Amino acid sequence: MTERKSPTAVLHEGPRALTDEQVREIEESDLKGVLDVDIDDVIEYVHKDLKTLPDFTMLYRKYLEQRWNVYELDFTQDKIDWTEKMTEDERQSFIAIASGFHHGERQVEIELPVFMIGASEEEKLHIAAQIEDEARHTVFFDRFYREVVGLPGEDIMDVLGASFPWVSETFLGPFGLLAYQADEVRRNPYDERARVRYGTNYFLWIEGVLALSVMKVTLSYARWRGFLPAYYTGFTATCRDESRHVQGGMRYLQDAVRKDPTMINEIHDTLRTILSLSGVYSREIYYEPLGWTQDEVRMLFFQQLRRKLGDVGIDLAPDLEELLQRVQPVLAGG
Ligand SMILES: [Fe+2]
Ligand SMILES: [Fe+2]
């Protein structure tokens, strides 16, 4: 983690192709090796396979190879960076973004099992693996908040309670919507329309747009400043896990639309709901201390959404394009 590139440099450069060697480095690095992997390459890697999406068995095999041990991370240097090197403004911005993730990981972990019921047997393998990934991500943030930020708490729920004041989504937003959609799927697990609405919010919006944007902002900050090595390692490994989640989710949505082209209406309606709510009832986040402007974060959002939909052959409706221009980005993830 030695490079000192400006955090937004790659945003302005746009998409680029990865070499075979870069792909191998991302796929085969062990946890220690992940510290040397560039976060921009991992975000690019998420999109690499979208045009020819891997099947669920292949994603499950990748999971078995890429699984990492969250208890191997050592946060000693991160604690020093957090308390002695980062400014109060940097800490506040960072925590405002990371808290959405802290809560998001735990929520997606407990809301994924209902989606498994109506899935094909191959997809069940992939979802079982994803639930374990999300559990590990929950422990990653629990450790970061206890050992680096220093929030008090006897158990996972206590520490979540202590970071809640920084969460920017207040009642209404994608996570509130996901709780509702998970309940809909729980009541009718084989209702394909309910599953597509759930999948659009969880895999496309929360993981594919929000989560990858948070990763990009906080990890490019850490790399730029040379701070928080264990956070960088664990969260970049998390990003590699998310690439499997996004690919599986986009595979699911693509198959659903191919089987029944009217499913695209469910995808558009769900995005309409999310975009209409976005930012309206949320606390504002100041990104500047981490090297980002509000406009750059917005640009990152749209890039993330457009690339995913475009790569799997799903178009945006014209009114959604208009809505996108008005959205205030609020970062969180799972
Ligand atoms: Fe995920
Ligand atoms: Fe996750």
Whether 192 is in a domain gets the answer yes
Q: Measure 137 CA to ligand 1 centroid, in angstroms.
A: 8
CB atoms within 10 A of CB 34: 24
Give the CATH number, domain containing residue 256: 1.10.620.20
**What are the beta bridge partners of residue 169?**
282
Identify the three-state secondary structure at position 18.
coil
pLDDT truncated to tens, each residue of the chain (334 aa)? 545 567 777 666 666 778 888 888 888 888 888 888 888 888 888 887 777 788 999 999 999 999 999 999 999 999 999 999 999 999 988 888 888 888 888 888 889 999 999 999 999 999 999 999 999 999 999 999 999 999 988 899 998 888 888 887 655 688 889 999 999 999 999 999 999 999 999 999 999 888 888 788 888 889 888 999 999 999 999 999 999 999 999 999 999 999 999 999 999 999 999 888 766 555 667 788 888 887 888 788 788 888 888 877 788 888 888 877 776 555 556 6
Counting ligands in written order, the one closest to the CA of 244 is 1
Q: What is the 3-state secondary structure (H, E, C) of 211-253?
A: HHHHHHHHHHHHHHHCCCHHHHHHHHHHHHHHHHHHHHHHHHH
Q: Measure 136 CA to ligand 1 centroid, in angstroms.
A: 10
Counting ligands in written order, the one closest to the CA of 249 is 1
pTM of the model: 0.90
Q: Measure 142 CA to ligand 2 centroid, in angstroms.
A: 13
User: How much is the pLDDT for 84?
Assistant: 96
- Torsion of the alpha carbons at 49, 51, 55 and 56, rounded to the nearest 10: 70
Whether 80 is in a domain gets the answer yes
User: How much is the pLDDT for 292?
Assistant: 82
DSSP states of 282-320 as a string? B-----GGGT--HHHHHHHHHHHHHHHHHHTT-PPPHHH
Q: Measure 240 CA to ligand 1 centroid, in angstroms.
A: 10
Q: In terms of C-beta distances under 8 Å and separation of at least 24 residues, what long-range contacts does 62-65 make, across chains too?
A: 62/27, 62/244, 63/126, 63/129, 63/130, 63/133, 63/241, 63/244, 64/129, 65/27, 65/28
181, with CB counted inside 10 A (0-12, 13-18, 19+), is buried
Q: Measure 77 CA to ligand 2 centroid, in angstroms.
A: 24
- Domain limits at 19? 9-326
Q: Measure 245 CA to ligand 1 centroid, in angstroms.
A: 5
Q: Quick one: angle between helices 212-225 and 88-111, nearest 10?
A: 140
Q: Measure 207 CA to ligand 2 centroid, in angstroms.
A: 8
Neighbours of ion ligand 2 (CB under 5 A): 105, 134, 137
What is the total count of domains within the chain? Answer: 1
Whether 3 is in a domain gets the answer no
Alpha-helical (H) ranges within the chain are: 9-13, 20-28, 39-48, 56-66, 76-80, 88-111, 113-117, 121-144, 156-163, 174-187, 192-199, 212-225, 229-259, 263-277, 294-311, 318-326
User: How much is the pLDDT for 1?
Assistant: 55
Whether 332 is in a domain gets the answer no
Instruction: Map tokens 């450790």 to a residue.
Output: 143
User: How much is the pLDDT for 150?
Assistant: 92
User: How much is the pLDDT for 329?
Assistant: 56
User: How much is the pLDDT for 166?
Assistant: 84
